[in-house]
Amino acid sequence: MSGVGDGAAGWDFFISYTKADQRWAEWVAWQLEAADYRVLIQAWDFVPGSDWRFKMEQGVTQAARTIAVLSKTYLSSVYGGEEWRAARAADPEGLARKLLPVRVENCDRPGVLRTVVSVDLFGVAPHTARLRLLAGVRGALNGRVKPEAEPEFPVGPGRMPRRSNRRRRPAGIPVHPGRMPPSQPAAFPDPHPSSPRPLTPRPIGNPLTGHTKGVRSVVFAPDGQTLATASVDQTVRLWDVADPSHARPIGNPLTGHTKGVWSVVFAPDGQTLATASADQTVRLWDVADPSHARPIGNPLTGHTKGVWPVVFAPDGQTLATASTDQTVRLWDVADPSHARPIGNPLTGHTKGVESVAFAPDGQTLATASNDQTVRLWDVADPSHARPIGNPLTGHTNRVRSVAFAPDGQTLATASNDQTVRLWDVADPSHARPIGNPLTGHTSWVVSVVFAPDGQTLATASVDQTVRLWDVADPSHARPIGNPLTGHTKGVWSVVFAPDGQTLATASTDQTVRLWDVWAD
C-alpha cells in the first residue's frame, strides 16, 4: 500500500528534513511511494488539526527507518539534529540501518554521522538520482547490494559489463485520507539548491599566447593543474594553470608532427598525452613531468587521410581515432610504448569523421561525421566493435562535435547547421532526440562539452562566441546569461576544468582564454 493515513500504524520511512529542503524531501517521498514503500513526511501528513510534535515523535519511534535529507541547512537545524540522533541512538552500530542519510548537496557530516554511509543525489540527472535512491534503499533493507543477475564475464582488463537498459515500470500514487500528497509527481529539485546557476562568467588573466597559427584543441589534465593546447602551427604546448590568473607555459613546445595538430587529449591517469594531426598520424607523449615531456614509441599510423579527433577510453587502455578517410580506429595503449591497432577500422560513415567520444562506462562510442549523422558503437569488446541501432539524423549539415553527459544518459551534438541537439541514449539501441535543437549561434557550432556535474553545457562557434546552457532538464534546455566574447576569430574548442569552475577556449586567433564560470 502506498501512503498511510492516521488510522494506519507504522511506516517504512520517516523523512527528516528542513523547510529549505522541502522540494528534495517531497521528491524523495514520491519516488519511495512509487516503489510501494510507506512514507511519513511532514509536507503531506501533518494536516490541519494534527499535533505536529506528536506526529514527529511517531515518525521517529514507529517508522522502521529515518531518511535524513542532509544539507548544510539541515545540519545546523536543532529539530533535524534531534531526529537523526534519535534514529542513530536506536541503532548505534548501524546493524539495522535505521538511519539512512541522503545528501542533497556536498556537505561535511559532523561526529558519528560522518561514518554512516550515505546516498548522494546531488550533481546528477533526475533518472540517475532515482536509481541511486532506490538502490540505496534496497541495500539498507537487504543488508547488501548483490545484483539480481549474474555479472557478465569481463571482456578485458579494467572493462566493466554493459549497463542494463531495464527501467522500473512507473506506479500510480493513490491519495489516502488524512494526508495531502501533491496531485502530480514532485519535480526533481535544483541539484545546486544553495548555488545559483552561472550568471556572468568573466575572463581570467590575460589570453595565453605563443602559438603562431590557430589553436584547434584545448584540454585540462585530470588534476586540473595543467592545460594542453594543439595548433595548426604543428606544435602542442603545455601550460601551468594551477593559478588560472597567472597561467604560464611549461617547458618547450612538443614538436614532431609535420602538419597541423587538430586534437590533444590526456589519458585518465594524466601521465600520457595523445595528439592527432593532419599528417595522418597520432603521437603519444610522456607528460608525467610536464616540464620534460617526451615522445613515446613510434607514431600510430594506418589512417589514409588527416586524423581529426583522438580520445582515451575511461580505463585508459584503449584509444579511439577518427579521420577524414571516413573510418574510426581503436588502439590498445595499455603499454603506450607498444601501442597497436585493435580489430578492423569502424566503417559506415560516408564522409569524414570529425569527432568521437566514449560513454563514461567505456562500453559505447559515439562518432560524428560530415555526412550529417552520428553513429553509436558497442565497444565493450574493442576487437569486435559493432554498430548499435540506426544512425542519429536530424542535423542538416556537418556534425562537428559529440559529447556524452557524465551520467552517460544524454548525448550532445554540434553542427555546421548552427544548432546543438540533445539525445536520450539511456538505451543506445533506441536513441531518440530530446526537446528542440538549441539555437542562438550565428555560424557553425564546432565544439560541445558538458560540465562535470552534467547540469551545464558549453558550446563554441565560428561566430567567435561561447554559449552556456542549462541542461539540468535536457527536455527544456535553456541559455544561461550572455555569450562569452573576447576572441577575435572562430572558437574551435571549449572544455571545463575537472572542478567545473574554470572554462578554457581555443581560437583561430592564435590564443587560448580562461574563464571563471561561476563569477557573479
Does the structure show a pLDDT above 60 at 41? yes
Residues 228 and 326 placed together within one structural domain of the fold? yes
Per-residue pLDDT tens digits for 242-298: 999 999 999 999 999 999 999 999 999 999 999 999 999 999 999 999 999 999 999
Q: What is the pTM of this model?
A: 0.65
The dihedral region occupied by 158, where left means phi > 0, alpha psi between -120 and 50, and beta the remainder, is: left
Q: How many C-alpha atoms does 186 have within 13 Å on its Cβ side?
A: 22
* Helix boundaries (H) for 63-125: 72-75, 78-89
Higher pLDDT, 111 or 490: 490
Residue 467 lies in a domain: yes
Residue 245 lies in a domain: yes
Side chain identity at 90, as an amino acid letter?
Answer: A
Residues 386 and 242 placed together within one structural domain of the fold? yes
Residues 68 and 209 placed together within one structural domain of the fold? no
Q: How many CB atoms lie within 10 A of CB 267?
A: 21
Residue 4 lies in a domain: no
Residue 170 lies in a domain: no
| Joined grid coordinates for residue 146 | 548483490
Of 207, 208, 216, the closest CA to residue 490 belongs to 216
| Joined grid coordinates for residue 121 | 543525489
Residues 311 and 357: beta-carbon distance below 8 Å: yes
Average pLDDT over residues 211-230: 96
Domain enclosing residue 37, as ranges? 11-142
Cα distances (angstroms) measured from residue 209 to each of 213, 218, 229, 425: 10, 13, 11, 39
pLDDT of residue 198: 44
pLDDT of residue 372: 97
Does the structure show a pLDDT above 70 at 165? no
Residues 437 and 511 placed together within one structural domain of the fold? yes
Residue 329 lies in a domain: yes
Residue 157 lies in a domain: no
Residues 341 and 473 placed together within one structural domain of the fold? yes
Of 45, 40, 101, 52, the closest CA to residue 75 belongs to 101
Residues 326 and 451 placed together within one structural domain of the fold? yes
Residues 357 and 238 placed together within one structural domain of the fold? yes
Residue 189 lies in a domain: no
Average pLDDT over residues 308-334: 96
Average pLDDT over residues 308-328: 96
Q: How many helices (H) and strands (E) does the chain have?
A: 6, 33
Structural domains in the chain (count): 2
Residues 284 and 404 placed together within one structural domain of the fold? yes
pLDDT of residue 457: 96
Using pLDDT thresholds of 50, 70 and 90, give the confidence band for residue 183: low
Task: Tell me the residue length of the chain.
Answer: 520
Residues 448 and 315 placed together within one structural domain of the fold? yes
Residues 507 and 465: beta-carbon distance below 8 Å: no
Per-residue pLDDT tens digits for 71-125: 888 888 887 888 888 888 888 888 888 899 999 888 877 777 788 888 888 877 7
Q: How many CB atoms lie within 10 A of CB 143?
A: 10
Which residues lie closer than 8 Å to 132 by C-beta, 6 or more apart?
119, 120, 121, 124
Residues 247 and 131 placed together within one structural domain of the fold? no
Residue 164 lies in a domain: no
Per-residue pLDDT tens digits for 462-487: 999 999 999 999 999 999 999 999 99
What CATH number is given to the structural domain containing 355? 2.130.10.10
Which residues lie closer than 8 Å to 195 by C-beta, 6 or more apart?
518
pLDDT of residue 109: 76
Per-residue pLDDT tens digits for 139-163: 888 888 776 666 766 644 443 343 3
Per-residue pLDDT tens digits for 356-397: 999 999 999 999 999 999 999 999 999 999 999 999 999 999
What CATH number is given to the structural domain containing 56? 3.40.50.10140
DSSP label of 376: E
Residues 114 and 209 placed together within one structural domain of the fold? no
pLDDT of residue 160: 39
Query: Which of 119, 142, 165 is at the close of a domain?
Result: 142
Does the structure show a pLDDT above 90 at 188? no
**Cα separation of 245 and 514, whole Å?**
8
Residues 365 and 459 placed together within one structural domain of the fold? yes
Side chain identity at 189, as an amino acid letter?
Answer: P
Average pLDDT over residues 191-218: 78
